[in-house]
Structure 1
Amino acid sequence: MRQAPVNRIAEDAVKAWKITGAIFAGVLWLITIGLFIVAYLLEFTYWIGAVGILVSVLCSYLFVFLLPNLRWRRWRYEVFEQEIYIQHGILIVSRTLVPMIRVQHVDTKQGPILKKYKLASVQISTAATTHEIPALLEEDASELRDRISTLARVDEDDV
């Protein structure tokens, strides 16, 4: 069996994922509060709101405190001359090999949360799908994008 890839994503990815999880949890809390208001105005029982609180507490813990750290520990990648090796997943670990000859183009993307921590993601597109290496330092993402682009170039004589 092949060894796990050696490169990790940036540690600040955990902070970015925690903020994203907090935003998601905040939306759940707003929905839960809305359920209580509707139950009060329409004189329903409050058990729906109680279930909402339970779900909100559970999701807040999972998406803000537990999953970002586990996700960071599992995310690894490595770029070879002939392929890109990506490993990710918490319960189900996915190991993907992307042949360089199949790479059509490589992009970097950066949303407002990643920009705050000077992070960017690298997207590798093939004819079939798009693979992503999330939350690398901006400089590392640019260098990786350029390296993959260089390795993926194929001369017309090779086709």
Structure 2
Amino acid sequence: MDYPLLPKQMPERIKKVWKKSNLVTTGIFLIIGIGVTAFLNWLDVLEGVWVWSMGIYFAVVLIWSIIAMLLIPYRYQFHRYEITPEDLSFQDGYIFRTITHVPINRIQHIETEQGPFLRKEKLMEIVIHTAASSHHISGLDVEEAVQLRQQIIELVKVAKEDV
């Protein structure tokens, strides 16, 4: 059975943001590994099991980074959302796929966020907060994010009036 796809997809530019985030994360883990290796070498214990441990650490970091980079196009296919008068739906995951439905009347507040990578690509993230959790729609065009935020606020007002 094919998994249903929600209609709204992020702009293609979100792939660049994901690549940059992955490179920064990989860089941080490599710097930590280099620091630990230098510290172990300074202690003069970098031999035997420590050499193997650090080798495995660097191999895992590099393999994880390569796999994450290769899965970006696949991830993009399943990172979607949909807004209806009753609920917001978020689709995520590329191996284990999920669709989360958030009733409009459960929304407490909405935030917009824009980190440096999103800002460079002229993208924005909307964070929808409920009492129990928060949900992210990242990678929206700035104008679309502002309109979407306003649309959700209007839907929440209507839903709260109906209760």
Name the TM tier (shorter chain).
0.7 to 0.9
Match for 2:90 among 64, 86, 92? Answer: 86
Deviation, 1:121, is 0.8
Q: Could you tell me the TM-score, scaled by structure 2's length?
A: 0.86
1:43 CA displacement: 4.0
Give distance in 2, aligned partners of 1:154 and 1:108. Answer: 21
Aligned to 1:117: 121
Secondary structure (helix, strand or coil) at the match of 1:104 reads: strand
Matched, 1:28 2:29: yes
Over residues 96-120 of structure 1, what are the superposed CA-to-partner deviations in whole Å (9 max), with x where a residue is unaligned? 1111122222221111111111111
1:158 aligns with 162
**Residue 35 of structure 1 contacts residue 48 of structure 1 at CA under 8 Å; is this kept in 2?**
no
Change (3 A) 1:150 1:112: same
* Cα offset, 1:36, TM superposition: 3.3
Of 98-107 and 41-50, deviating more is 41-50
**Amino-acid identity (%):** 32
Give unmatched runs, 5+ long, in structure 1.
none
- Is 1:72 paired with 2:73? no
* CA distance in structure 1 between the aligned counterparts of 2:159 and 2:80, rounded to whole angstroms: 30
3-state SS of paired residue (1:5): coil
1-side partners of 2:139 and 2:61: how far apart? 26
Superposed displacement of residue 92, structure 1: 1.3
Q: Residues 130-145 of structure 1 correspond to what in structure 2 (within 5 A)?
A: 130-145=134-149
Q: Which amino acid aligns with 2:115?
A: G
| Root mean square deviation, CA, Å | 2.1
Cα displacement (A) at 1:155: 7.3
Cα distance in 1, alignment partners of residues 127 and 93 from structure 2:
17
Distance 1:156 1:80, change over 3 A: closer
1:60 paired residue number: 65
Runs of 4+ displaced beyond 4 Å = none
Letter in 2 for 1:78: E
Q: Kindly state the Cα deviation for residue 95 of structure 1 after the two structures are TM-superposed.
A: 0.7
Match of 2:8 in 1: 7
CA distance in 1, matches of 2:34, 2:130: 44
SS in 2 for 1:153: helix
Deviation, 1:94, is 1.1
Relative to the length of structure 1, the TM-score reads 0.88
Q: Structure 2 counterpart of 1:44, which letter?
A: L
Distance 1:155 1:33, change over 3 A: closer
Measure the CA separation in 2 of the matches of 1:139 and 1:88.
23
